């Protein structure tokens, strides 16, 4: 009986750990959510096509739900490279936007195995377009359970990141 309880305890701990997330963020000064924000396509460092674009659209919706003044842009369905994103930053600065939200997707997949749990890792930064400096930065990672989706997991992570922005 004691062995069964120990085994059940270990299984419970494994289940909790598989659902846990890791969130780290850093911020220089409080941000005014009423300022103009633009979300750029995130860079995709994964083998999953368009993961960066998907993550950036989820981030856009999450930030709007947290009261940020997000100006929606429609981007082509393609992978955006670092140079293209730098050019967009210059363009949006010239257009008068105050902040740009940029990011990177480092993991966006279903792990192999019996359950195929989703795994997501996203970095996100807010850049002050007036001076080009990062005023907020966050990174988030999470593995889900076998029945959860990557989209749901990404939304949870991006929501936790948005909550850390003051």
What average pLDDT values come out for the chain (166 residues) when binned by 10 residues? 43 47 91 97 97 98 98 95 96 97 97 83 98 97 88 96 96
Three-state secondary structure call for residue 31: coil
pLDDT of residue 14: 40
pLDDT in the model for residue 116? 84
d(CA 11, CA 7): 6
pLDDT of residue 1: 56
Q: Quote the pLDDT of residue 148.
A: 86
Beta strands in the chain (DSSP E): 21-27, 37-39, 43-44, 70-71, 99-110, 118-128, 133-143
Beta 37-39 vs 99-110: how paired, if at all?
parallel
* Closest C-alpha to 104, from 47, 43, 41, 38: 43
Superfamily (CATH) of domain 21-163 = ABC-type transport auxiliary lipoprotein component (3.40.50.10610)
Residue 53, pLDDT score: 97
pLDDT for the residue 19: 58
Per-residue model confidence (pLDDT) at position 111: 86
Whole-angstrom Cα distance, residue 111 to residue 133? 36
Burial of 2 (0-12, 13-18, 19+ CB in 10 A): exposed
Q: Tokens at residue 100, please?
A: 């740009």
Beta-carbon contacts of residue 100 (< 8 Å; ≥ 6 apart): 37, 38, 39, 40, 88, 89, 92, 126, 127, 129
What span, in angstroms and rounded, lies between the C-alpha atoms of 85 and 156?
25
What was the pLDDT predicted at 114? 67
Report which of 120, 141, 115 is spatially closest to residue 44, judged by C-alpha positions: 120
């Amino acid at each position: 009986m004691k062995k069964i309880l120990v085994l059940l305890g270990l299984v419970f701990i494994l289940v909790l750990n598989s659902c846990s997330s890791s969130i780290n963020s850093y911020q220089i000064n409080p941000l005014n959510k009423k300022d103009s924000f633009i979300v750029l396509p995130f860079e995709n460092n994964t083998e999953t096509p368009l993961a960066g674009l998907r993550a950036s659209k989820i981030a856009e919706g999450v930030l709007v739900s947290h009261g940020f003044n997000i100006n929606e842009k429609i981007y082509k369905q393609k992978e955006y490279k670092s140079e293209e994103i730098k050019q967009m930053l210059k363009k949006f600065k010239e257009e008068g936007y105050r902040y740009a939200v940029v990011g990177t997707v480092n993991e966006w997949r279903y792990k192999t195995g019996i359950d195929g749990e989703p795994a997501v890792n996203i970095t996100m930064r807010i850049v002050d377009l007036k001076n080009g400096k990062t005023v907020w930065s966050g990174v988030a990672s999470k593995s889900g359970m076998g029945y959860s989706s990557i989209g749901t997991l990404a939304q949870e992570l991006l929501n936790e990141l948005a909550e850390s922005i003051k």
